[in-house]
Amino acid sequence: MCGIVAATAARNIVPVLIEGLLKLEYRGYDSAGLALLNPTLTRLRSVGRVAELAAQAEGQVAHHGIAHTRWATHGVPSERNAHPHVSAGLAVVHNGIIENYAELKQELIAAGYAFTSDTDTEVIAHLIQETLKSSADLFEAVQRSTARLIGAYAIAVLREWDETIVVARHGAPLLLGLGQGEDGGNYAASDASALLQVTRRMIYLEEGDVAELRRDAIRIVGAGGTAVERPAHESTLSADDVELGEYTHYMQKEIFEQPQALAATLELIGGAQAISPNLFGVAAPEMLGGVRSVLVLACGTSFHAGLVARYWIEQLAGIPCSVEIASEYRYRASVPNPEQLVVAISQSGETADTLASIKHAKAQGMGRTLAICNVPESAIVRECALRFLTRAGPEIGVASTKAFTTQLAALFLLAVTLAKQSGRLAPEQETSYLAALRHLPVAVQKVLALEDAIKAWAERFADKQHALFLGRGHHYPIALEGALKLKEISYIHAEGYPAGELKHGPLALVDKNMPVISIAPNDALLEKLKSNLKEVAARGGELYVFADADSVVDEEPGVHILRLPEHYGLLSPVLHVVPLQLLSYHVALVKGTDVDKPRNLAKSVTVE
């Protein structure tokens, strides 16, 4: 979603702003813009790629500036709706949604302000301008104006003849970068990747913080209205983590990084002989002890990880587990259970619905909360009592891949931990699960070797309008995930179904134009699945089967089979999702879509 970069420094900050926006491109956007002080305001905006804005900004020099990539919410993608929005020499960039913008707009129109865009952001610019009539100090005007906003925002504000940049956040991410070395300066951005070019020292702003950036100083005032000190962290992100390197697309890079991502995530179990609840935080032994049910909250791909976890938790720990889409749970009248463990799964840690759902659970007295997340210090991590940080590294491609498999590794550890706490884990089982986890990176590496065969299959999908993904048991969520991947990056309509459900409806869709992708591991449900596949073949459907080396299924006309090198028992979903990721990637390549930035989608969904 929208990305913000702000900079004040002795150096020319225009290249810093542009480079920062390029690093934030992955979040998804449709237009971009920036405002520079020279010492009057110069505003540049463009629809489309940051490269177009960069061309416009060629030759500009400035020491204070704010910049933005916009993902349209209020108003179509257009230059007039692109940020920054200005009000008489004052410029604002904004990430989030202002829910009371309509009433503020009426008030400001009545006060004589003319609006030139359809955005909610323009309201913020005029509101600060109006507040400046009664307090000349920009910092105070931002504090007083943001106090009137309802909704989510991260903003950066700049005004002519003023050498400060004021930023504020509430419900949307924003961090500060503290300049180092001769060039110094101070910076702000939506995420660390935008600022690695100038600094590694970052301060994560808290909810309700307002901060002032000067070239040589910063000051932060917390939600309570008093000055606060926030700790500075040394970012461990490496610039290489956010570079493409030898790859053509981030999605491709991230698919192939899965062995390392899993190894890094599982480093925590190292050479351990036993699984300890401390993996989930110091309070975990007490908090997880006596857990009798689990509620998982998540969106999209993270929701699918939760669905796999349900099979694991119920089978291994013998405790009930429900999995809810966060945007539904937060508004539904559910029955609270204060003893339940609530698990929020999120790659970004900033997904607005997941964050709100965890707050909703807490408000209902459910305090045993655990975040499984890829971004330390993110809002969801901070909201939960316990945490497990996956170590997938930055995920830039909009379609989630390595975050998913590392979430699965973390959730398997959770299931085993709960099983142990429930007294249902025999020592030899524990040893064998630990061994299977440790071997996982190597097993995934072997699956990646199927790429060439999958590429050949992908050619046959390019002219298809629809596809069906089938799985059973803990591979049913993998069918859902395969369908989501295909639809989001290749724009082919795809649905995931539990194979046993086929004859209750979707079989009606099957004909020679409908490819049916099936996950056929060599498990207890294979024979059942084979009957389902016969139903497809009998209707002329073209079957693409991902089996295991030893699955007894035969190639025949209309039935194509690729075999994964080994059967992986309970952890098989981690392996079987990988060929589906590769299939989507290669179908998208054949179709020529924008793999890393599919249309209409954003990476971090920080608005509802």
Binding flag, residue 302, ligand F6R (CB under 6 A) = yes
Does the annotation mark 512 as catalytic?
A: no
Binding flag, residue 354, ligand F6R (CB under 6 A) = yes
Q: Which is nearer to ligand F6R, 199 or 400 (CB)?
A: 400
Given candidates 347, 417, 490, 606, which one binds ligand F6R under the rule CB under 6 A? 347
Strands 210-214 and 217-221, how do they pair? antiparallel
Distance of CA 336 to the CA centre of its chain: 27
Q: Cα separations (Å) of 161 from 64, 158, 604?
A: 11, 9, 34
Q: Which is nearer to ligand F6R, 380 or 419 (CB)?
A: 380
To the nearest whole angstrom, how small is the minimum distance from the Cβ of residue 596 to ligand F6R?
Answer: 11
Residue 15, preceding bond cis, omega within 30 degrees? no
Q: Which is nearer to ligand F6R, 200 or 487 (CB)?
A: 487
429 neighbors 457 (Cβ within 8 angstroms): no
Encoding tokens for residue 474?
Answer: 């803990």
To the nearest whole angstrom, how small is the minimum distance from the Cβ of residue 354 to ligand F6R?
Answer: 5
Q: Cα separations (Å) of 487 from 454, 465, 470, 472, 544?
A: 17, 10, 15, 21, 17
Encoding tokens for residue 476?
Answer: 């049913």
Binding flag, residue 390, ligand F6R (CB under 6 A) = no
- Applying CB under 6 A, the span of 42-50, 299-307, 359-367, 493-501 interacting with ligand F6R comes to 299-307
Given candidates 31, 400, 518, 584, which one binds ligand F6R under the rule CB under 6 A? 400
Given candidates 323, 392, 399, 458, which one binds ligand F6R under the rule CB under 6 A? 399
Q: Which is nearer to ligand F6R, 300 or 579 (CB)?
A: 300
339 neighbors 367 (Cβ within 8 angstroms): no
Q: Which is nearer to ligand F6R, 347 or 406 (CB)?
A: 347
Q: Which is nearer to ligand F6R, 33 or 496 (CB)?
A: 496
Catalytic member of 105, 420, 487, 603: 603
Nearest-CB residue for ligand F6R: 300
Which residues 136-175 are close enough to bind ligand F6R by CB under 6 A?
none
Which residues 40-99 are close enough to bind ligand F6R by CB under 6 A?
none
Rounded CA Rg of the chain: 25
To the nearest whole angstrom, how small is the minimum distance from the Cβ of residue 355 to ligand F6R?
Answer: 9
H helix or E strand, kind and range, residue 123? helix 121-131
Per-residue DSSP letters for 222-279?
-TTSSEE---EEE----GGGGS-TT-S-HHHHHHHTHHHHHHHHHGGGTT-SS--GGG
Beta carbons within 10 angstroms of residue 161's beta carbon: 9
To the nearest whole angstrom, how small is the minimum distance from the Cβ of residue 467 to ligand F6R?
Answer: 16
- Applying CB under 6 A, the span of 17-25, 345-353, 493-501, 537-545 interacting with ligand F6R comes to 345-353
- Applying CB under 6 A, the span of 8-16, 294-302, 440-448, 521-529 interacting with ligand F6R comes to 294-302
- Applying CB under 6 A, the span of 176-184, 241-249, 267-275, 295-303 interacting with ligand F6R comes to 295-303
* Separation between Cα atoms, residue 38 and residue 36, nearest integer Å: 6
Longest dimension (CA), the chain: 80
* Separation between Cα atoms, residue 523 and residue 546, nearest integer Å: 13
Binding flag, residue 346, ligand F6R (CB under 6 A) = yes
To the nearest whole angstrom, how small is the minimum distance from the Cβ of residue 54 to ligand F6R?
Answer: 27
To the nearest whole angstrom, how small is the minimum distance from the Cβ of residue 331 to ligand F6R?
Answer: 18
Which residues 504-543 are close enough to bind ligand F6R by CB under 6 A?
none
H helix or E strand, kind and range, residue 140? helix 138-146
Q: Which is nearer to ligand F6R, 27 or 563 (CB)?
A: 27
Does the annotation mark 603 as catalytic?
A: yes
Nearest 5°: CA angle at 461, between 460 and 466? 140
82 neighbors 50 (Cβ within 8 angstroms): no
- Applying CB under 6 A, the span of 94-102, 348-356, 533-541, 561-569 interacting with ligand F6R comes to 348-356
Given candidates 9, 468, 470, 605, which one binds ligand F6R under the rule CB under 6 A? 605
| Angle at which helices 572-591 and 402-421 cross, to 10° | 170
- Where do contacts with ligand F6R occur on this chain (CB under 6 A)? 299-302, 346-348, 351, 354, 399-400, 484, 488, 605
Catalytically active residues, by annotation: 2, 603
